[in-house]
Structure 1
Amino acid sequence: MPAKIVGTVSLTPELTALIEAKVATGLYGSASEVVRAGLRLLVEQDRQEEQTAKKVTEGRRNAR
Structure 2
Amino acid sequence: MSVTAGLLALVFGLTRAGEHGFADPLGLGALAAAPPCSSPSGTSSAAPPRPSCPSRSWPGRT
Query: TM-score category by the smaller chain?
Result: 0.3 to 0.5
Q: Which has the higher helix share?
A: 1
Q: Which has the higher contact order (CA 8 A, sep 6+)?
A: 2
Larger radius of gyration: 2
Give TM-score, length-normalised by structure 2.
0.37
